[in-house]
Amino acid sequence: MLSLRLDKVTFSYPSNLILQEASCEIQAGCYGVIVPNGSGKTTLLKLILG
């Protein structure tokens, strides 16, 4: 079973806080991320992928 856990992840650019203490657990399955534009969806995926 594939799983991923993020615990209190914080990420920012020099002048813009993107994620602050974000936590989630992802297990095998199909997921969607629904949040407003500019909330850090793409940044979160880039952090997960390295």
Q: Per the structure, how many domains does the chain have?
A: 1
What domain range includes position 31?
Answer: 3-49
Q: Tell me the mean pLDDT in the region 1-17.
A: 87
Band of residue 21 on the pLDDT scale cut at 50, 70, 90: very high
Q: Quick check: 33 and 26 in contact, CB under 8 A?
A: no
Q: Is the model's pLDDT at 12 over the cut of 80?
A: yes
What span, in angstroms and rounded, lies between the C-alpha atoms of 7 and 23? 4
Band of residue 7 on the pLDDT scale cut at 50, 70, 90: very high
User: What's this model's pTM, rounded to 2 decimal places?
Assistant: 0.61
Give burial (CB, 10 Å; 0-12/13-18/19+) of 40.
Answer: buried
Average pLDDT, the chain: 86
Q: Quick check: 41 and 33 in contact, CB under 8 A?
A: yes
